[in-house]
Amino acid sequence: MKRLLVLSSLAAVLLIAGCSQKGSVQSSSSSNSYGQSANNGKGYVAGKDNFANLEERIKYVDSNLQNVFFNFDQFTIRPDMQRVVDNNVNVLLSPAIGTLSVRIEGNTDEWGTDEYNYALGLKRAVAVRESLVAKGVDQNKTILVSYGESKPTCTSKTRECWAENRKVTFKILP
Nearest C-alpha neighbor of 127 from the set 172, 71, 173: 71
Q: How many domains does the chain have?
A: 1
pLDDT tens readout for residues 149-168: 999 999 999 999 999 999 99
For residue 52, name the pLDDT band (cuts at 50, 70, 90). Answer: confident
Lowest pLDDT segment from 41-50, 58-67, 130-139: 41-50
Specify the pairing of strand 142-148 against strand 101-107: parallel
Residue 136 lies in a domain: yes
Helix (H) or strand (E) holding 83: helix 82-93
Residue 105 sits at the vertex; the CA angle it makes with 71 and 135, to the nearest 5 degrees, is 80
Residue 158 lies in a domain: yes
The domain in which residue 157 lies consists of: 54-173
Query: Can you say how many angstroms the Cα of residue 38 is from the centroid of all Cα atoms in its chain?
Result: 17
Residue 29 lies in a domain: no
Residue 35 lies in a domain: no
Residue 58 lies in a domain: yes
Lowest pLDDT segment from 14-18, 59-63, 131-135: 14-18
CATH code, 102: 3.30.1330.60
Residue 26 lies in a domain: no
Q: How many angstroms separate the Cα of 29 from the Cα of each of 8, 33, 52, 112, 126?
A: 43, 13, 20, 53, 42
Residue 1 lies in a domain: no
| pTM listed for this prediction | 0.72
For residue 170, what are the β-bridge partners?
104
For residue 173, what are the β-bridge partners?
101
d(CA 174, CA 154): 28
Residue 42 lies in a domain: no
